[in-house]
Amino acid sequence: VVVLGQPVTTVFALITDREVVGVVEVETVVAIDPEHLRLVGSILRIYRNFQELLDYSERDTLTGLLNRKTFDESFLKAAAGQRQAAQADVGGDGRRAVGRMHEVYLGVVDIDHFKLVNDRHGHLIGDEVLLLLSRLMRNTFRFDDRLYRFGGEEFVVMMRCSDAQDATAVFERLRSNTEHHSFPRVGHITVSIGFTEVLASDTPSAA
């Protein structure tokens, strides 16, 4: 519905092969005509092709999660951010400022006895378990939490939380969601999770 004298908002979805990653809102004085709608559609197709090229190099082909080779760079950025936050957190009088930034936590998620799944049901069913677990992870964590398939049945999470108690609650939710999910052919599986706060001095291997 177009109301005279009111701006018109047109919404375009940013779509990849796997999901809708966002939207673009365009506000105009009048409704966008079909020719310009086609032009915007063409620009968004270019964006989609570019995003798919990035995904090909940065994402695990099975699960769609980030792959291991993107982890180190993201981790070092997070550690550098912690250093900057620590420096900004201390005022000129040497006292800590009120209202600290959320801390970065690194978690490792490992499927228990995954070799038995492959041995009993075959690698295709094992791959399905990995895919379904990655979906559970997406549904458990926030959009801006970074999820990685680190190798085999091992996954890594980097996220911001206010403290270790909040991080524990989030990882416990994933553990519980996984335990109660029924996987086709396999039934129920469990995961083991460990996590640590990312310190300003950390390297990926040290953490």
User: pLDDT digit string (tens) for 45-104?
Assistant: 888 877 777 666 788 889 989 998 889 888 988 888 877 876 776 555 555 444 445 789
Residue 147 scores a pLDDT above 90: yes
Q: Report residue 200's pLDDT band, with 50, 70 and 90 as the boundaries.
A: confident
pLDDT at 17: 66
pLDDT at 191: 97
- Which region among 50-64, 101-115, 126-140, 167-181 has the lowest average model confidence (pLDDT)? 50-64
Mean pLDDT of all residues in the chain?
A: 86
- Mean pLDDT for 103-111 is 95
pLDDT at 98: 44
Kindly report the three-state secondary structure assignment for every residue of 44-84.
HHHHHHHHHHHHHHHECCCCCCECHHHHHHHHHHHHHHHHH
- Which region among 99-108, 137-146, 176-185 has the lowest average model confidence (pLDDT)? 99-108
Residue 121 scores a pLDDT above 70: yes
Active-site annotation, residues: 153
Quick: pLDDT tens for 6-29: 788 898 888 776 667 788 888 888
The top-scoring range by mean pLDDT among 5-19, 28-42, 123-137 is: 123-137
pTM of the predicted structure, to 2 decimals: 0.70
The top-scoring range by mean pLDDT among 36-45, 76-85, 100-109, 147-156 is: 147-156
In the chain, % of residues over pLDDT 70:
87
